Structure 1
Amino acid sequence: MQHYKKILVVCPAGAVTGGPEALHQLTAHMNALGLPAYMCYLPFSESAIAPAAYARYKTQSAPYEDAPGNLIIFPEVYPMLALKVKKAQAGLWWLSLENFLERRHIWGLHDKVRYLKRVIQGRRPWGGAKSLKQILHFSQTEHSSSYLRSCGIEPIPLIDSINEDFLTDRFLDRIDHKQNTILYNPTKGWKVTESLIKAYPDWRFEPVKGLNREQLSEKLYQAKLYIDFGHHPGRDRMPREAAMHGCCLITGKLGSAGNTVDLPMPPQYKLDSNANGFVEQFGLLAADIMGDFPKHFTAFGPYRKWLQDESRIFKEQIQKIFHQSINSA
């Protein structure tokens, strides 16, 4: 791949979620490799700086500049902005497939209508990614790579990693303090989670919301189980962070959770929420986790080791893609 004069990584201003953190990580790792990468915040007409939560990445921002020799990387939810690039090279980083397709796995027609609305609003192209072949494509997941290949596009693998503060063993030092708590994100697969809460009223289900990083870390450190029956649009950060705090996981099989490349945890902890007997199956597994936690904690050991290797792979992929050597640590 050619060397670029400037690499602009587009991100909505003020957003503090998994995707924006990945975009800041990407820019920071590029900078560490000596690449001229900058955050470029939306809307382009206003100046912005990194949110306080991402100040640790020490990225710099630059104004939008569609100029020859530049590369502009957009998250996959801004394909129409990428298509407007005329002089620079445009790229899309597929951090989520479901969010691009507006797919929620509720009902096929429902998802198609959602996508059609985005087309009418001018936010999605007719024909999906088949309309985006002139753009560079970077893919975070095998899930999105499979879709892109079906559209005649061979994407460039580019994963991310969770916060490196969580990639040590410091939250795995002991398990005797773990409590019979089941944590969940109320924005992910709520209908399924709600059915489980109703089925097991004596169990302690706690939502993970409205917490700063320290509070979230403490809650994950104390709990035995984290569940996620959402649509897993990409390599979701919360399950990964939960695992690195010593939680066991139970997930569904939608989206990126449906393969062993993007979520390579033991298959017995992935349950089909649409299957007959799902609620009972979940109950038996969750009860066994809480009753014999050391056994299940050990079962997640290989997955945690895999997570700890993500940061190295991420940096190596960036170096390979841009053919640069490390200039600074």
Structure 2
Amino acid sequence: MITYKSHSKIIIFCPPKKVTGGPEALHQLSDRLYKIGVENVFMHYIPKRKNAKAINYSVYKTKETDSVEDHPDTILIIPESMTFLIKKYPLSQKVIWWLSVDFYKILMEYRIRKQSFFTKLFYKQADKEYYFEDLPNVFQWAQSYRSSVYLKKHGIPDNQIDYVCDYINPSFTENKNVIKKDLNNKKVLYNPKKGKEEISQLIKNSPELNWVPIQNMNAQQIKDLMSKSLLYVDFGENPGRDKMLRESVSQDCCIISGRNGSSAYYEDLMIPDEYKFDFSESQIPEIISKIKEVLENYSEHIPQFLTYKNVVLNEENVFENKLKEIFRKDNYGK
């Protein structure tokens, strides 16, 4: 358990200028800690950059710091992409937030591989990396059920894992009015950065469908597009609970997905199995047939996504309550 004291300094490590799900979650953490009355919360961007906070995150309250004091009362929030920092601050309390489990091994191996010959003369990066050792003052947060499974497979006991999931951008939940759909709008939405090979094959085999990529848009523009559309298709890797899947269901889009990463787990993507596919060339006709079925009979299918939508809409409250539990006042020291 984190030992939080009223004078504790909380430092959230984050890559600069990135506009993706992980960095947004880290900014949401800062904002929500301030809202529940936790003070001394700071963003620490690595590598250091001017104007490191992306403009998209201006809705989240943050303060920045350039320094990190290694002290037992300091609490460091470290995304899994930066686990090389764990051993750098032996005295501090460290929380690894597993936002995207696949990045852990990929980036760790990249850091080791990119070392120059001269650097290796002084130290080996491999010795600086975190390998799930039983280290003092290291705590685990799982953003998804899949993350918790990953941690348990690497020897982390269940009682040492806290489930801390972020939430979708507030712009998606601001308007509580009933979403009215144009049933003649047959656009098939997708994220062109995810599942590129699978999506390209689906597009190639369905020229009669109107595939629309979600790109170069801010949160409000994405919301407007989703609120007018009937279907979102996703065959990405989904190393964590994907933001765009959650955004789409918040706007009453039906979903057809693969079974990669967190999408394989009902706990992370709470939609019936009939809308999830193990992608293969032989499955393409069946997937396209399902897409057409949903577009033609949207009103019959959308009730199947209500459970998932309700969970997504409640994530902000769950997130806040979890932070209150972790940083609870009866855990304050003097």
Same fold (TM over 0.5): yes
Equivalent of residue 318 in structure 1, options 301, 311, 323: 323
1:115: how far off? 6.3
1:49: how far off? 5.2
Quick check: 2:108–2:129 contact (8 Å CA) kept in 1? no
CA-to-aligned-CA distance 1:101-143 (integer Å, 9 cap, x gap): 33xxxxxxxxxxx864443336777997424744221110111
CA distance in 1 between partners of 2:209 and 2:127 (Å): 46
Matched with 1:39 is 43
Structure 2: segments with no counterpart, 5+ residues: 116-124
Quick check: 1:141–1:235 contact (8 Å CA) kept in 2? yes
Quick check: 2:97–2:141 contact (8 Å CA) kept in 1? yes
Q: C-alpha root-mean-square deviation of aligned residues, in Å?
A: 2.3
State the SS of the aligned residue for 1:79: helix
Read off the aligned partner of 2:154 and give its amino acid letter: C
Quick check: 1:97–1:144 contact (8 Å CA) kept in 2? yes
Read off the aligned partner of 1:84 and give its amino acid letter: K
CA distance in 2 between partners of 1:28 and 1:62 (Å): 15
Matched with 1:109 is none
Question: Alignment identity in percent?
Answer: 29
Q: 1:109-258, aligned counterparts within 5 Å?
A: 116-121=109-114, 129-131=131-133, 133-134=135-136, 135-153=138-156, 154-167=160-173, 170=176, 172-176=178-182, 179-258=185-264
Matched with 1:57 is 60
CA-to-aligned-CA distance 1:191-210 (integer Å, 9 cap, x gap): 00000001101101111111
Q: Count the aligned residue pairs.
A: 312
Read off the aligned partner of 1:130 and give its amino acid letter: F
Quick check: 1:183–1:207 contact (8 Å CA) kept in 2? yes
CA distance in 2 between partners of 1:91 and 1:239 (Å): 26
CA-to-aligned-CA distance 1:57-76 (integer Å, 9 cap, x gap): 12222223133111111111
1:282 aligns with 2:284: no
Read off the aligned partner of 1:270 and give its amino acid letter: K
Read off the aligned partner of 2:285 and give its amino acid letter: E
CA distance in 1 between partners of 2:91 and 2:256 (Å): 47
1:54: how far off? 1.0
Matched with 1:86 is 90
Question: After the TM superposition, which segments of 4 or more aligned residues of structure 1 sit over 6 Å from their partners?
Answer: 122-128
Matched with 1:300 is 305
Aligned in 2, Cα 1:256/1:151: closer, same or farther, shift over 3 Å?
same
Quick check: 1:129–1:148 contact (8 Å CA) kept in 2? no
1:267 aligns with 2:273: yes
Structure 1: segments with no counterpart, 5+ residues: 103-113
Aligned in 2, Cα 1:125/1:319: closer, same or farther, shift over 3 Å?
farther
